[in-house]
């Protein structure tokens, strides 16, 4: 098996690797030192910033490493960030943090794997090596095509294992050339499925079982993160979703959305891959209640595979810009058929369409508010 570079400056870029974990263990830094010693305050602050960057940006910056000391702090910040996430214990934060770490590693891996563009044979070899190393780390059997450095082939069983959560049609097995049990992928596509493997590894053990006294000792960091998390949720929740009331006024109240739509939107905002049928349903629903195409495209920017050109085309198609016939959101029966009906409530039993749910709940809420005023 190919060995990873042992230098901290390289390992800290991929802190989820087994070699990185081994490096931390060999450093003999105790948990008590990590959470309380003044020597490691930089690591603790960087660990906190990893999470706040995930909350705010949906990715985590990779700083320029200029010394071994900085690299060691960057490496130690990763286990501390995992402890912080575990103490907070929020499932959505776990997903968002894991996805942000995976996206950051994906970007760095693409950057390193494209180093061959410098033109030298040595740089091409280095590019291939990092792909091989990452595939070995995650047990992915792959190889470059003969004479190629931009095309790889992967056994279909490994491909299926890593593309389960990739909802775009281009990842479906039927849309891939299959020969002798293997599929051909562009190198960038292979790096993208490696991102899925990274995400699963980071998320797998979270939240950790952290003793209460340790969570209490680092509460000043977790409280700051909880504040950022709450601010972000307020910001997302404040986004206007309009619907024309009987008086002609545009009412903005996402609290009246049906559970199925709220669930899909929540996943989109958290960066979770959403099935095509659910994306169609939520897009049509939001267009039907008056959101602009730009507002809806903005919602999809949190998606792991966001492609603005593709998203714009799909939103415009559903809006009827191309055909002149806008789509209506699917009925409740259709939502159930495709497994998109979730977390039903008592109002769901009274309506047959998500739009009717919204109208009903909006009027009910307005009536309640008027009665409270009286």
CA dist 50 and 102 (Å) reads 12
Q: What are the tens digits of pLDDT across the range 246-264?
A: 333 344 578 889 999 999 9
- Cα 30 to chain centroid distance, Å, stands at 31
Q: Out of 87-101, 123-137, 241-255, which region has the weakest mean confidence (pLDDT)?
A: 241-255
Selection from 174, 196, 219, 221 nearest residue 305 by Cα: 196
CA dist 32 and 249 (Å) reads 59
- The pLDDT, as a whole number, for residue 279 is 92
Count CB atoms within 10 A of the CB of residue 61: 11
- The pLDDT, as a whole number, for residue 370 is 80
Structure tokens at 265: 């939107």
Count CB atoms within 10 A of the CB of residue 5: 14
For residue 346, which phi and psi values (nearest 5 degrees)? -65, -30
Could you check whether the bond before residue 166 is cis, i.e. omega within 30 degrees of 0?
Answer: no
For residue 360, which phi and psi values (nearest 5 degrees)? -60, -50
Q: Mean pLDDT over residues 96-124, rounded?
A: 76
Provide the 3-class DSSP secondary structure of residue 183: strand
The yes-or-no verdict on residue 158 having pLDDT over 80 is: yes
Q: Rg of the chain over CA atoms, in angstroms?
A: 24
Structure tokens at 75: 């490496």
Report the chain's terminal Cα–Cα distance, integer Å.
Answer: 75
310 vs 245: which has the higher pLDDT: 310
CA dist 4 and 129 (Å) reads 10
Q: Alpha helix locations (H) across the chain? A: 8-11, 18-26, 31-36, 41-57, 68-88, 91-113, 121-137, 156-162, 187-204, 212-217, 219-237, 259-269, 276-288, 293-299, 308-319, 332-337, 354-373
CA dist 371 and 361 (Å) reads 15
User: Mean pLDDT score of the chain, rounded to an integer?
Assistant: 84
Q: Out of 42-56, 73-87, 152-166, 197-211, which region has the weakest mean confidence (pLDDT)?
A: 152-166
The yes-or-no verdict on residue 20 having pLDDT over 90 is: yes
Domain boundaries, the chain: 1-88+212-232, 116-207, 239-373
- The pLDDT, as a whole number, for residue 235 is 63
CA dist 374 and 370 (Å) reads 6
- The pLDDT, as a whole number, for residue 246 is 37
- The pLDDT, as a whole number, for residue 127 is 59
CA dist 42 and 308 (Å) reads 37
Selection from 225, 228, 271 nearest residue 80 by Cα: 225
Banded model confidence at residue 222, pLDDT cuts 50, 70, 90: very high
CA dist 23 and 106 (Å) reads 22
- The pLDDT, as a whole number, for residue 236 is 55
CA dist 31 and 29 (Å) reads 7
Give the position of tokens 């990092």. 130
Decide if 77 contacts 43 (C-beta within 8 A). Answer: yes
Structure tokens at 252: 């903005």
The yes-or-no verdict on residue 5 having pLDDT over 60 is: no
Selection from 72, 81, 76, 70 nearest residue 30 by Cα: 76
Q: Backbone dihedral region of 343: left (phi > 0), alpha (psi from -120 to 50 degrees) or beta?
A: left
242-244 vs 178-179, strand pairing mode: unpaired
Selection from 87, 91, 69 nearest residue 79 by Cα: 87
Banded model confidence at residue 1, pLDDT cuts 50, 70, 90: very low
Provide the 3-class DSSP secondary structure of residue 208: coil
Q: What are the tens digits of pLDDT across the range 307-358?
A: 888 899 899 889 887 667 788 999 998 998 888 998 888 899 889 999 999 9
Banded model confidence at residue 292, pLDDT cuts 50, 70, 90: confident
CA dist 175 and 333 (Å) reads 29
Structure tokens at 314: 């799909």
The yes-or-no verdict on residue 122 having pLDDT over 90 is: no
Selection from 177, 252, 200, 199 nearest residue 58 by Cα: 199
Decide if 284 contacts 330 (C-beta within 8 A). Answer: yes
Q: What are the tens digits of pLDDT across the range 36-81?
A: 999 999 999 999 999 999 988 888 999 999 999 999 999 999 999 9
């Amino acid at each position: 098996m190919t060995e990873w570079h042992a230098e901290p400056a390289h390992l800290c870029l991929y802190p989820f690797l087994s070699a990185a974990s081994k490096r931390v263990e060999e450093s003999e830094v105790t948990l008590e030192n990590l959470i309380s010693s003044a020597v490691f305050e930089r690591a603790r602050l960087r660990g906190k910033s990893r999470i706040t960057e995930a909350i705010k940006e949906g990715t985590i910056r990779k700083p320029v490493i200029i010394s071994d000391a900085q690299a060691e702090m960057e490496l130690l910040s990763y286990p501390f960030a995992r402890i912080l996430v575990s103490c907070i214990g929020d499932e959505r934060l776990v997903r968002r943090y894991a996805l942000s770490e995976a996206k950051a590693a994906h970007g760095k891996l693409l950057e390193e794997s494209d180093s061959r563009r410098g033109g030298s044979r040595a740089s091409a070899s280095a590019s291939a090596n990092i792909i091989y190393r990452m595939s070995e780390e995650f047990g992915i059997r792959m190889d470059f095509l003969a004479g190629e450095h931009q095309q790889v082939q992967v056994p279909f069983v490994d491909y299926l294992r890593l593309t389960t959560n990739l909802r775009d049609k281009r990842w479906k097995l039927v849309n891939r050339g299959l020969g002798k049990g293997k599929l051909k992928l562009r190198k960038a596509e292979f790096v993208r499925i490696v991102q899925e493997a990274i995400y699963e590894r980071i998320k797998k053990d979270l939240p950790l079982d952290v003793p209460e006294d340790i969570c209490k000792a680092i509460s000043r960091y977790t409280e700051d993160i909880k504040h950022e998390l709450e601010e972000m949720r307020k910001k997302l929740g404040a986004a206007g979703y309009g619907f024309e009331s009987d008086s002609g006024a545009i009412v903005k109240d996402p609290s009246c959305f049906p559970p199925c739509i709220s669930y899909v939107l929540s996943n989109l905002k958290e960066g979770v891959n959403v099935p095509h049928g659910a994306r169609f349903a939520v897009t049509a629903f939001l267009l039907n209640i008056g959101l602009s195409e730009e507002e809806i495209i903005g919602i999809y920017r949190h998606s792991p595979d966001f492609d603005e050109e593709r998203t714009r085309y799909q939103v415009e198609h559903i809006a009827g810009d191309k055909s002149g016939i806008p789509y209506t959101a699917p009925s409740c029966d259709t939502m159930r058929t495709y497994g998109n009906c979730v977390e039903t409530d008592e109002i769901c039993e009274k309506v047959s369409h998500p739009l009717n749910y919204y109208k009903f709940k909006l009027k009910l809420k307005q009536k309640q508010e008027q009665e409270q005023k009286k």
